[in-house]
Amino acid sequence: MHIAGLMQIDETTWQVGPTGAMRVPVVIYADANLIEAMDDKVYEQARNVSTLPGIVAASFVMPDAHWGYGFPIGGVAAFDASQGGVVSAGGVGFDISCGVRSVTTGILESELATVQDALADSLARAIPAGVGSEGSISLDAHEVDAMLLGGAVWAVAHGLGDAADLERIEEGGCMAGAQASCVPGRAKERQRREMGTLGSGNHYLEIQAVEEIFDSVAAAAFGLVRGEVLITIHCGSRGLGHQIGTEFLTEMVIASGAAGTALPERELACAPIESELGCRYLGAMRAAINCALANREILDHLARRVIRHFFPAAAPRLLFDVSHNTCKVETHLVAGHPRTLYVHRKGATRAFGPGHPSLPDALRSVGQPVLVGGSMGTGSYVLVGMAGNEERAFASACHGAGRAMSRHSALRRWDGQQIVDDLAAHHILVRSRSMRGVAEEAPGAYKDVGAVVLAAERAGLARRVARLRPVICIKG
């Protein structure tokens, strides 16, 4: 992206417009190097989002942004239903409620030395991964509906999770307003055998070591100790979320055409929040959020069983579980007045600052943990939401490193087995059923996650707490 067309507000804040059909400006949070590395499509898509009815304040872009479907990945936009605001399937994404979950274990990295290979193999056997992967859990139609309404609470009630986890999951582990009846039948059918599965692409389960602490107070509140290891899971609502996104996007395209709504691109198809279609989509999307919350709870349950086999004295404890492909109803101050808004975060993480009432007591004085995945070779970060960030981007932050090149380009450039061998030489063990998938997710295909989180911190979105180094990576 060319900086020349942007107005620089400060070191990490840039603005465009509003001009022409734009209803609000575009605001980009990144340093100059990250902006130069963004593809031009990010600029175009963020401008297109700013033209949608009922948008409030700005079309925001996070430091890890790259081209997406409709909205840029790393895009944040809030809409006011009372002002004709819309909900967009493209503004949520196809992997609804894809997110990151991290669990402290109390195990020292040094304790892994003699069991690292065996632990990696055991995790790979226990965690179904890959395209179309299915697990041992099979749900009938009634059980699918119950899961869609109950989320992680349903998983815990079925012995597939720990009740103590629920206070450390967004929405207490169960998204209100879910409507199983709004979920297409094909979506439900796809999910019957996919609970407790990892999927493919950039999804993973990693054993990570805490390598560096930046904020000792927040680290202590989060239970992060240098040299100890965590379990981190990155996945979402699997085939169910993708089917919901596909079918509702088609409906929204048809409805937009029938209503004569001018869209800058087809992928931005949307529906008024209070319309019948908008309400149905929100009901289905919330059900998909519950699916993802249940899925990560089950995956965590499976991983903890493996960990306890090798380390009976381990004490796994959920740090946090946060989603990054959602639309949620939240109250935010806009020009000093509270407004009820429908906040789309696509490839962006909610990052409430200290004192927010939705946070559990143990975290409220510090702020919400923000879990930022890097790549299987470069590591990840734990951040914390900063005071005042609601005014910056509705309390949002980056969700990962962000791709620097397409999967197709990565596949042409790297060999999967060579990546596995190179990482093993650096004591990072990768287990995957697909060397093609490993090549597509090569560390070099991603931006510098350290630069991304530093930009987020300097922009006042979220502050660095700890850097995590991968030790074992299970991929699809």
Give one DSSP letter per residue of 149-182, joined into a string. HHHHHHHHHTTSS-GGGGGGBGGGG--TT--GGG
Instruction: Point out which residues pair with 56 in neighbouring strands.
Output: 78
Is residue 170 a contact partner of residue 350, using CB atoms and an 8 Å limit? Answer: yes
- Name the residue type at position 80: D
Q: Give the residue from 278, 276, 287 showing the smallest Cα distance to 180.
A: 287
Q: Which residue has the tokens 């980056």?
A: 398
Residue 233 to residue 205: CA distance in whole angstroms: 4
CA atoms lying within 13 Å on the CB side of residue 94:
13
Which residues are CB-contacts of 467 (< 8 A; sequence separation ≥ 6)? 210, 211, 212, 214, 379, 380, 381, 450
Helix (H, G, I), strand (E, B) or coil at 39: coil
The encoded tokens of residue 382 equal 């734990």
Measured CA angle at 394 (ends 388, 399), to 5 deg: 100
The β-bridge relationship of strands 462-475 and 429-432 is parallel
Give the span between the Cα atoms of 91 and 238, in whole angstroms.
18
Element (H, E) at 116: helix 116-126
Kind and range of the H or E run holding 453: helix 449-458
Listed in sequence order, the residues at least 6 apart from 352 whose beta carbon sits closer than 8 Å to its beta carbon are: 358, 359, 367, 368, 385, 395
Q: Kindly write down the DSSP assignment for every residue of 340-358, as one continuous string.
A: EEEEEEESEEE---TT-TT
Beta strand extents in 97-216 (DSSP E only): 99-108, 204-213
Is the C-alpha dihedral spanning 466, 101, 379, 242 positive or negative? negative
Structure-block tokens of residue 154: 């349903």
Q: What does the block give as tokens for 229?
A: 């290891």
Q: List the catalytic residues.
A: 399
Length of the chain: 476
d(CA 254, CA 265): 13
Bridge partners (DSSP) of residue 88 are: 270
